[in-house]
Structures are given as C-alpha cells and as structure tokens.
Amino acid sequence: MAVDKTNDLAILKINENDFYFSDKVPYSVKKYTPSITQRIYSLGFPKTDIVYNEGYVSSTTGFEGDSGKFQLELPSFPGVSGAPIIDESGNIIGIISGKQSESEGITYAVKSKPLLNLINELPNDFSKNEFASNYLKNSTRSQQIQKIEPFICVVKVYNK
C-alpha cells in the first residue's frame, strides 16, 4: 500500500484469493501536462454500474491556479472521485479529485506525477513495469473502454 495524503491518493493491495485481473494492465500512466482542448474521458462509479464521460482539458492548472492539478470540462458526480482521466491513446494522465460546486461541468484532476510517485514507492513484490506499456494506442475508443473497464473497481470505505 502507498498513500499520498496531500493529493488524496492511495494504492491498495487486495488480499483475496478470488480477486484477480484476468489480463495484463492495458494502459500506461503517463507523466505530462495535457494541453488545453485535449480530448479526455473517464470511467467511474457514481452509481452501481460503470459510467463513461468525455470532455476536454480546459486549463492546465487546477482550482486557484494549483499547478499539481488541471481543470476539465467534464461531467462529474459524487462517487466519481478517484476515477482515471484517460487521453485519446489510452494513457492515464490524471485522477478526478473534485468538482466546482457552482458549475455544471468543471471538474478537477490530480496530474499523474503523484500517482507515478506512489507507484515507485510500492514494495518490490509489485511490478512497477505493469504501468509502463500501453496496449491501447491503436484501438478505437470503444475498444479501449472494453479493455480498461475490467480494471476500474468500486472502492467503498466504511467508518467503524
């Protein structure tokens, strides 16, 4: 497990014998700042089934000029925080962190650098190389989603 409290990110290890992914991770995590108007999409769980949304990068900085985040024109609902932001080539370039309450579509995302830093903190029994290869580059959006969807999971937190 690795945690970044500043960016509200965590990588969790699931220790259940019947939980596994049947294939290699098809996407990569890329460290770069997307450009304004770059098309993106997300997959998340604001309800019991997965929801697809698409939009574009509207600012290379987040709320009040936060350089560690970027602003999106993307519908977002409670429960979508933590969803990946995916570029047209199938690379994860950020993670949804919140939305502007006064606006319909303004959503903020943490840039991928803190996620890559967390991946590098993981113990040696975890293969960091899994997030280096992208098997989606030449796929259509529908094909990308079909391959990525099994890797998007609901995480529920219960207070004791």
28-29 and 9-11 beta bridge pairing = unpaired
Which tens digits make up the pLDDT trace of 6-62?
Answer: 999 998 888 888 988 888 889 999 887 789 999 999 999 988 899 999 999 999 999
Q: How many residues does the chain have?
A: 160
**CB under 8 Å to 86, separation ≥6 — which residues?**
27, 40, 41, 42, 43, 92, 93, 144, 148
Which tens digits make up the pLDDT trace of 68-119?
Answer: 999 999 988 888 889 999 999 999 999 999 887 666 789 999 999 999 999 9
pTM for this model (two decimals): 0.89
Q: How confident is the model at residue 4 (pLDDT cuts 50, 70, 90)?
A: very high
Residue-range domain boundaries for the chain? 2-151
CA dihedral over 145, 150, 151, 155, signed as positive or negative? positive
148: enclosing H helix or E strand = helix 141-148
Class of domain 2-151 (CATH, top level):
mainly beta
